[in-house]
């Protein structure tokens, strides 16, 4: 009897929680209303089974409870009942899976006039590439990947010279235009997910995955990585800004092409201290340092840069070291040689020029106070 009451309370509480909880889907901002329909369908079918099965259990607990002088009947099998259960379960599973397959088939078949954008996932940042004026993405190969060429574009392929590269973690898209998204990984499994678009796709090392969508509402939406991809995973975030086509075009024009990004940066001596710090700040953004190192003192995967310069750090081996220029340069060049106590040994070795390292150190120094 007690268990029967508990089951009824669980069913009632589940239904109540479902209807009064504030955790509903965010307003949709793309064409994929069908995703919401699939979610609703799944919820209705699994929720219906949940209620029916629990109430059936309550019924059997009461109907067949122990009574004096009453013996249970022995029934080794019941073919009719088994057949009915198999048919009912088959219908339930087909109803759960089949509609989703039709939606998925549409999800990976973009309209022919869709614009193309490439998403590059890397521990723990997002990068984007648009085809330039020729409308073609240039050839890429892992053997061309360097610090200055994170996309691995082939320098000999003329089609890639005008490719537009977006290295900060914010990308813009025009309102109402279908977008075909191609996804590549620089390292491990990631998943590009923008909840208001109801769109996501795994990014698998060694292959190009894709899907398409049409943004239907202007706004700034958060991008998440939806596959556990390492200690910085929770910080692998970015933004998609959906705006009017004219605003998008002028934003796109301001982004560098591959050819421009490969031109050597102006000599740092010409710019003075101010630009060196600015360059360090830009590098910290574009090379993903900020995914693990905060500049406002908040905790992260790595030590915060606020007040770091000049501080004395305790190392993993118990010794101490003063954080000065030489120490920081050493840490950036060979992150695994000396480890700061309390932090995991996960910092990647980046391919940076001497000027880049100097700019980063200057930026960290500027956060000393
Ligand atoms: Cu990730």
Q: What is the pLDDT of residues 306-352, one digit of tens each?
A: 888 888 888 888 888 888 888 888 888 888 888 888 888 878 777 78
CA atoms within 13 A on the CB side of 226: 13
Q: What is the rounded distance in angstroms from the CA atom of residue 321 to the CA atom of residue 311? A: 8
SS3 40: helix
CATH code (residue 338): 1.10.760.10
* Ligand 1 centroid from CA 186, angstroms: 10
Phi then psi dihedrals of residue 116, to 5 deg: -105, 140
* Ligand 1 centroid from CA 317, angstroms: 31
* Ligand 1 centroid from CA 146, angstroms: 20
Token match 């982004």: residue?
Answer: 255
Task: State how beta strands 179-185 and 115-122 pair.
Answer: parallel
Query: What domain range includes position 278?
Result: 266-366
Token match 């691995």: residue?
Answer: 152
Quote the tokens at residue 289: 């340092």
H, E, C per residue of 282-321: HHHHHCCHHHCCCCCCCCCCCCCCCCCCCCEEEECCCCEE
* Ligand 1 centroid from CA 120, angstroms: 10
* Ligand 1 centroid from CA 47, angstroms: 32
User: Do 342 and 234 reside in the same domain of the chain?
Assistant: no
pLDDT digits (tens, 9 = 90+) for 104-144: 999 999 999 999 999 999 888 899 999 988 888 989 988 88
In this predicted structure, the answer to whether residue 191 has a pLDDT above a threshold of 60 is yes
Q: Point out the domain boundary residue: 57, 87, 107.
A: 107
User: Do 223 and 350 reside in the same domain of the chain?
Assistant: no
- The total of structural domains in the chain comes to 3
User: Do 213 and 323 reside in the same domain of the chain?
Assistant: no
* Ligand 1 centroid from CA 5, angstroms: 45
Q: Point out the domain boundary residue: 210, 244, 261.
A: 261
DSSP codes, 220-282: EEEEEE-S--STTGGG-EEEEEEE-HHHHHHHHHTSPBHHHHHSPPPPHHHHHHHHHHHHHHH
pLDDT digits (tens, 9 = 90+) for 244-297: 999 999 999 888 888 887 776 555 444 566 688 888 888 887 777 887 888 888
Q: Point out the domain boundary residue: 234, 261, 288.
A: 261
């Amino acid at each position: 009897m007690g268990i029967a009451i508990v089951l009824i309370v669980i069913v009632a509480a589940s239904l109540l929680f479902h209807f009064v909880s504030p955790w509903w889907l965010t307003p949709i901002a793309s064409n994929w209303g069908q995703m919401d329909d699939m979610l609703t369908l799944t919820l209705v079918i699994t929720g219906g089974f949940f209620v029916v099965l629990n109430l059936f259990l309550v019924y059997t607990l009461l109907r067949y409870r122990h009574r004096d002088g009453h013996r249970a009947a022995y029934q080794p099998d019941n073919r009719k009942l088994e057949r009915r259960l198999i048919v009912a379960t088959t219908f339930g599973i087909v109803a759960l899976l089949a509609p989703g397959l039709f939606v998925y088939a549409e999800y990976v078949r973009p309209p022919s006039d869709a614009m193309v954008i490439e998403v590059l996932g890397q521990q723990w940042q997002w990068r984007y590439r648009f085809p330039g004026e020729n409308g073609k993405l240039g050839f890429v190969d892992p053997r061309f990947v360097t610090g200055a060429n994170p996309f691995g574009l082939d320098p000999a392929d003329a089609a890639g010279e005008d490719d537009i590269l977006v290295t900060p973690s914010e990308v813009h898209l025009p309102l109402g235009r279908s977008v075909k998204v191609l996804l590549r990984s620089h390292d491990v499994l990631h998943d590009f997910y923008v909840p208001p678009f109801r769109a996501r796709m795994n990014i698998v090392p060694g292959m190009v995955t894709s899907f398409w969508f049409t943004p239907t509402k202007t706004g700034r939406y958060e991008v998440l990585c939806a596959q556990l991809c390492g200690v910085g995973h929770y910080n692998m975030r970015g933004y998609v800004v959906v705006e009017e086509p004219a605003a998008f075009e002028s934003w796109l024009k301001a982004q560098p092409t591959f050819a421009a990004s490969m031109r050597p940066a102006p000599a740092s001596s010409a710019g003075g201290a101010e630009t060196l710090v600015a360059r360090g700040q830009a590098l910290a953004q574009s090379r993903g340092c900020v995914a693990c190192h905060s500049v406002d003192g908040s905790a992260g995967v790595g030590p915060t840069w606020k007040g770091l310069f000049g501080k004395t750090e305790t190392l993993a081996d118990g010794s101490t070291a003063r954080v000065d220029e030489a120490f920081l340069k050493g840490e950036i060049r060979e992150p695994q040689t000396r480890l700061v106590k309390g932090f995991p040994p996960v910092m990647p070795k980046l391919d940076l020029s001497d000027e880049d390292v100097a700019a980063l150190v200057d930026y960290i120094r500027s956060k000393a106070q």
